[in-house]
Structure 1
Amino acid sequence: MQALTLWSYHSTLTLALDVAKSFLTSAEHLMAIWPCPAQYRRYKILYERLTTACYTAGMPPPAPGLIASPMLL
């Protein structure tokens, strides 16, 4: 996700993390409509990276979303 890459280069750009969280929500909606195990695995990796970045920046992490109730393995 480009927003995470941008934040990793300049950690004061917390707006990039907000953008990443909004795109993560969009991805969750898309996966709810069209489930795919391969995409879910990629989603989990991005979710974990974004959560770590949010904690590092002192921001609230993204909502649990699909991680809280994994329907795909």
Structure 2
Amino acid sequence: MENRRKLAIADLCRGFLHVQGFLTDSENEKVHQRILNWQDENEVEITEEQMLSADFTYDDNAKEEDY
């Protein structure tokens, strides 16, 4: 379960960074391949629904004392 969570979050982050211009197409492909290699090495199987369930949380009104 923990490795599926890591995989979903890693892929979400990679996609976000690429879409927002932080990663070039070439860099994105390298990161994607590293994620796939990690998935293979750790024998992680995940469904598309599980991959799509990862999300970011951001609160613009958050204050240090809230955490």
Of structures 1 and 2, the one with the larger relative CO (CA 8 A, separation 6+) is: 2
Task: Sort the TM-score into its range (normalised by shorter chain).
Answer: 0.3 to 0.5
